[in-house]
Amino acid sequence: MSPLTGRRGRIRGGHALLAAALCAWSANAAALSLDPAGLSPDERVATQRLLDQARSHLPMRMRALSDRDIVVRWSPLSADVHGHAGRSELLLNRELLAPLLAGGETARRAALATVLHELAHFHDRAEGISRDPRFLDLAGWQVRATRFNTRLAGRVRENRFVDRSADSYELTRPSEYFAVNVEHFLLDPQYACRRPAMHRYLERRLGPGASGSPCANELVYVDAGEGNGGALRAIDPARVYAIDYLLAEGNSQPMSRWGHGMLRLVVCAPGRTPGPDCRLDLTHHRVLSFRAFVDDVQISSWRGLTGRYPSRLFVLPMEQTIDEYTKVELRGLRSVPLRLSREEIAAVLERTAQLHWSYDGRYYFLGNNCAAETWKLLHDSVPRLATRAIGSITPTGLLRRLENAGVADASVLDDREQALRLGYRFESQGAYYDRLYADAKASLALPSRTVVDWMDLPPPQRRPWIERADLRTSAALLLLEQAAQRRAMAQVREALKRRYLASERDDDAPDVVRRLLRDSAYLGRPSRLLEGRGYGVPQAEERVALEARGAALRADLQATRTELEEGAREWMGATQRERLDGITANTELLGSRLRELHAERGGLRLP
């Protein structure tokens, strides 16, 4: 943990008079002068030593600008106020003086950080750094996903990067974010690794900060995959060949008709030179998906309209995402490459790490949804995109604007067969089921118009046709029964989740459901695994703890999911139980019938 984290309460200085804010002056080292009134000789010596030390930490730009002297005084400020940047004076809380005189390292560090914090305010007034749009992007006062890139930069709630904060006071307003981060930029050798993008920005605007060891480049994340949820993973930017805009096509559900927007990381297998062949390494690809709640592919309730769901960034295996949408939701996927340079890809990964470890947004279907969040990630990562009017609150609208701006290359979808072969398109299994059902319907004169209508029939009503099916048709109907079973289980899980979320009291929901949702929350908010440890992107010493806690979380999730599956019948409604039992009976009948028909044709008897 940085010695600065959580070290103080409120530091005033962000609400100076407008006239003072317009003055062109800042804290040149030679311009600081101590007011000795009321100080003993020892106190004057200790204070001057403090100011000299602060002077030695000032970067080039903060030393270069000077227009007038700044008088430093010790003052009886409020207990939670360590310092105050006035019009032409820097006030320090007198309560800091005695500990400073005693010579303790913690007191010296706190006093030094306070002086640097207030000098940062003086510099900010001269340079207007905290009003720079690029600074606001990096700091977390994000734009809205509209053509006009509007933002509200003056409210606490507008900065949702609340986890693993260097100091919660930085979230109160942009000027305080700047001052707090200047402290860490100048005093913490790990700052460049914990907040790399902001470090580069401050270095460009101010000059070099505290020196430290080289940083690890990889994106460290907690895997949200169904089988490996909780495991700590890392992605080396050098192995990411491309980033695609991944669109799950819409369906008939009201909240899903415009699709779901995500980003696909085309990660090369170890040992493969980055290039087009990396698209074949599907096992290594990852998906960045903003979701209203873990395991939600679609969700529709009043909570989503009022922002009562959290919006979190989940890192998922590509193969799981394909199965989730194409097999369960019966929705196709389009994977459209984004025209990004190697540096821009690395910047997106860097911002992804910041979001993964710090962001706790609020999900609104009609304002801050998956499309809005995905656009903000691209906007904040790649400065050239921030100048384009591309933002949209619908996933299909965002893809269209990315295409129109020349950022997304949709030409890869022109040849449908080639797009399927090269992994730019993943067909819904619904199309495959449609073909199976069409063949079965032609053979047996099945009564339903579509395959979905067929699967929605009560299972006993499907049995008369199952009993008359030939070998080929029985195989098709077996696949359709298995699809109906997956669909029914997804509906059961959704019903259980809604029952819990709609409950006014936790004890109204099954204990195993509460545990699953509680533990799953760590997958989208992994900072909770490191509460009280450091800030920003986790460093080596924190990753050791993450490995241990992640392994325990993974074991708990697997055990809870198994328990939920085994006990699911207890919490199902009677209709759900009857449907699943009927599907099981149909599946067993089809399996038996296939074995018999195969044997009648002279084949080996199937087990």
Domain extent listing, the chain: 18-206, 219-426, 430-600
| Nearest alpha carbon to residue 181 among 411, 399, 4 | 4
Rg (CA), the chain: 30
For residues 291 and 200, is the Cβ–Cβ distance under 8 A? Answer: no
Q: Burial of 333 by CB count in 10 Å (0-12 exposed, 13-18 middle, 19+ buried)?
A: buried
Contact 553, 229 (CB under 8 A): yes
* Exposed / middle / buried, residue 231 (Cβ in 10 Å: 0-12, 13-18, 19+): middle
pLDDT digits (tens, 9 = 90+) for 390-433: 888 899 999 999 999 999 999 999 999 999 999 999 999 888 99
- CA-CA distance, 502 to 214, in Å (whole number)? 49
Q: What pLDDT sits at residue 252? A: 61
**Token code pair at residue 339:** 């025209």
Kindly report each contact of residues 446-452 with a partner whose C-beta sits within 8 Å and lies 24 or more positions away, as own/partner. 451/480, 452/330
Q: How far apart are CA 16 and CA 176, in angstroms?
A: 12
The Cα-based distances of 275 to 272, 278, 450, 455, 545 in angstroms read 8, 6, 42, 43, 35
Q: Which amino acid is at 446?
A: L
- CA dist 250 and 332 (Å) reads 8
Quick one: which of 406, 593, 428, 564 has its CA closest to 496? 564
Largest CA distance in the chain: 108
- The answer to whether residues 317 and 239 touch, using CB atoms and an 8 Å cutoff, is no
CA–CA separation, 464 and 445 (whole Å): 12
Q: Round to whole Å and give the CA distance between 99 and 430.
A: 71
Element spanning 87, H or E:
none
State how far the Cα of 68 lies from the Cα of 62, in Å rounded to an integer: 13
**Nearest to 166, CA basis, from 186, 182, 181:** 181
What's the token pair of residue 436? Answer: 């199976």
Q: Which of 129, 130, 99 is nearest to 114 (CA)?
A: 99
- CB contact at 8 A, 188 and 4: yes
CA angle 582/583/589 to nearest 5° reads 90
Q: Under CATH, to which class is 18-206 assigned?
A: alpha beta
Residue 322 is encoded by which pair of tokens? 């394909």
Taking the C-alpha atoms of residue 183 and residue 535, their distance in angstroms, rounded to an integer, is 14
CA distance 85 to 340: 43
Q: How far apart are CA 438 and CA 436, in angstroms?
A: 5
Pairing of strands 32-34, 70-75: parallel
CA trace torsion 431, 432, 434, 439 (10° rounding): 150
Cα–Cα distance, 29 to 335 (Å, whole number): 55
Neighbours of 607 (CB within 10 A): 4
Taking a C-beta distance cutoff of 8 angstroms, is the pair 315, 512 a contact? Answer: no
Nearest to 255 by CA among 359, 393, 373, 399: 393
* Segment holding 385, helix H or strand E: helix 383-386
CB 193 within 8 A of CB 216: yes
- Answer whether 101's CB lies under 8 Å from 39's CB: no
Element (H or E) spanning 288, and its range? strand 286-291
Two structure tokens written together for 131: 């009003």
User: What count of other Cβ atoms lies within 10 Å of the Cβ of residue 150?
Assistant: 10
Give the pLDDT means over successive 10-residue stretches in the chain (607 positions): 40 38 37 90 95 93 72 92 92 94 92 96 94 96 73 62 95 96 97 96 94 88 84 94 95 67 97 95 96 51 54 92 89 96 96 94 80 94 90 91 96 96 93 92 94 93 93 94 88 71 55 73 85 90 89 85 74 84 94 88 56
Q: How far apart are CA 282 and CA 562, in angstroms?
A: 27
Beta bridge partners of 291: 312
Please state the separation of Cα 353 from the chain's center in Å.
8
Percent helix, strand, coil in the chain (nearest 5)?
Answer: 55, 10, 35
